[in-house]
Amino acid sequence: MADRAAMERVWDAHTDSEFVHRDVRVTMSTMTDSPTVIHVPTAMGGVGRGNVRDFYERWFIGRNPDDFALRSVSRTVGDERIVDEMVVSFTHDIEVPWILPAIGPTGREVRIPLVAVVGFHGESIDSEHIYWDQASVLAQTLLLDTGLVARLPVVTDQPGMLDGGIALNQLAENR
């Protein structure tokens, strides 16, 4: 069992090195010798140190818009795992391959909840499983047909849902 406060410090240093300092070397120093990173909605990431480093260098670190922001909603810390619920926001003014692979800038604002499930081995990160609603990203960037969005359970203001800012169960009335 790892020290929970140490796990939080490592996770915070990891995300700072990804998004603030944009330093692959420091990011990798927070991880085990054989980490796994999976961005589930886009099947991006890597298994093993070399593949994770390649993912960070080519597709993730330094590949975010200047206005990219993370806002913490909640964090749960267990014996060997952290679950972090955040709101991610950015203007899609550059290609962001880890969230919209092979899609050029749309100029649209994106704001979505994201959940990171982070596994630890000792005080080093062993795995990251990252989840978000890709349909919401596609709808906000106008890459999903608006007629389809109106008929499907696609919520374009998911953070509003988390904050209680939109009514729930509206899609059931459209049937």
Structure-model confidence comparison of residues 52 and 2, the more confident one = 52
Rounded Cα distance between 121 and 23, Å, is 22
| Residue 158 identity | Q
Rounded Cα distance between 126 and 41, Å, is 20
Residue 152: pLDDT band by 50, 70, 90 thresholds? Answer: confident
Return the pLDDT at 151: 80
pTM: 0.89
- Burial of 102: CB neighbours in 10 Å, binned 0-12, 13-18, 19+: exposed
| pLDDT per position as a tens digit, 58-104 | 999 999 999 999 999 999 999 999 999 999 999 999 999 999 999 99
Task: For each of the domains in the chain, give its residue range(s) and CATH number, in order of start.
Answer: 4-132 (3.10.450.50)
